[in-house]
Structure 1
Amino acid sequence: MNYFAHLHIASLTQTSWAGNLLGDFPVQAADLEADLLEGWRLHQMVDVWVDDHPASQNFRALPRQGRRRFAGIVQDIAMDYWLIRYWTDFSDEALSDFCQRAVCGLAEDKARCPTRLQGMIASLEASNWLANLGRQEGVERAIYSIMRRWRHGHHLQAFVDELPMVLEQAEQPFLQLYPELLAFITAQKKAT
């Protein structure tokens, strides 16, 4: 799952918006305040669960130009794409209202976030691009953003080259995985 799905999960679990994104940013967990730590832990649990799910394993094994080793990165972004496309199946809240609420929640904790996450939050405050992750152009931008920051980023170009097919390949895994993930999270929340 990428940013949008983690924000959706933060909303459903009533945990910190920023904390639920911290798993994608370098932090020292021991230094986090309790609410941020709770969100960080939830993010970690979600990522492990998603990576181990058979639908994710099947997606990573599909034939394509992009290297299997990096398919999970693209899958995370594609999951956001499909969550936005199927938004009304998972929420009664208008997508635009959710995006605005998420940015406001992130902004409240911006000062407690690492510099790179602060920059992302500032970008969202300037132009709320969350809903754009549900468009092919938004997915491309997200992948290119990773490519610029990551020393192995050039390996993701093959996924961009085949993006319509990659997005199509991700739809059924998303539809299988995401409802199961939400059920898992609900069960975990009740157990605590």
Structure 2
Amino acid sequence: MNYFAHLHIASITHTSWVGNLLGDFPVDVESLDTDLWIGWRLHQKVDVMVDKHEASVSFRSIPRKGRRRFAGIVQDIVMDYWLIQYWERFSVIPLNTFCHQALLGLVQDKERCPERLQSMIRSLENENWLANLGTVEGVEKAICSIMRRWRHGEYLADFVEDLDEIIKQAEAPFLRLYPDLLKFVDEGMKKAEATHSLG
């Protein structure tokens, strides 16, 4: 899952918006405030669950020009695309309202973020592009952004060339995966609450 899904999970678990994005940015985990650490840890658990889910394994194994080892990066982004397409199935909050709430939450804790995340939040302040992740153009822009800043970015070019087909390939895996992910997150939060109450 990419930014949008992690923000959705932050909203339904009432954990830190910023914390739930920190897993994609270099941070000194030991120095994190408790609320940010909880979000960071939740992000890690979500990523592990998604990587191991049979729908993800199936998606990454589809024959295509792009190297299989990098398909997971693209999967994260196109899963956000499908979450936005099916938004009303997973949230009662209107999409534009959610994007506004997420922006406010991120801005509130902007100064506690590493510089690269602060830069992303500033770009959202200038133009809240979260909903654009649900467009083909937004998906392509997100992949190209990774290509520019990642030393192996050129290996994602083949995925961009076949982007329309790859997005179609991700729909069924998303619909199998995301309900399971939300159940996994809910069960994890209930266990955490039970452990806290016992303590």
For the criterion TM > 0.5, the same-fold answer is yes
Structure 2 portions without partners, runs of 5+: 193-199
In structure 2, how many angstroms separate the alpha carbons of the residues matched to 1:13 and 1:35? 12
- 1:133 matches 2:121: no
Match of 2:47 in 1: 47
Alignment correspondent of 2:75:
75
State the partner residue of 1:17: 17
Q: Distance in 2 between matches of 1:108 and 1:171?
A: 34
Percent identical pairs in the alignment equals 65
Shift in Å at residue 7 of structure 1? 0.1
User: What residue ranges of structure 1 are gaps of 5+ in the alignment?
Assistant: none
Structure 1 residue 86: Cα displacement: 0.3
Q: 2:103 maps to what in 1?
A: 103
Report the AA paired with residue 111 of structure 1: E
Shift of 1:24: 0.2
1:112 is matched with which residue?
A: 112
Aligned to 1:86: 86
| 1:68-120: CA deviation from partner (whole Å, max 9, x where unpaired) | 00000000000100000000000011000000000000000000000000000
Amino acid aligned to 1:60: R
Cα distance in 2, alignment partners of residues 63 and 86 from structure 1 = 26
What is the CA distance between 1:28 and its match in structure 2? 1.2
SS in 1 for 2:63: coil
Alignment partners' CA distance in 2, 1:65 and 1:109: 40
Match in the other structure for 1:187: 187
Structure 2 counterpart of 1:161, one-letter code: E
The letter of the residue matching 1:162 is D
Aligned residues: 192
- Deviations along 1:118-148, one digit per CA (max 9) or x if unpaired, are 0000000110000000000000000000000
Runs of 4+ in 1 over 2 A off after TM superposition: none
Structure 1 residue aligned with 2:162:
162
Letter of the structure 1 residue corresponding to residue 65 of structure 2: Q
SS at match of 2:26: coil
Q: Give the match for residue 153 of structure 1.
A: 153
What amino acid is aligned across from residue 14 of structure 2 in structure 1? Answer: Q
- Residue type at the aligned position of 1:43: H
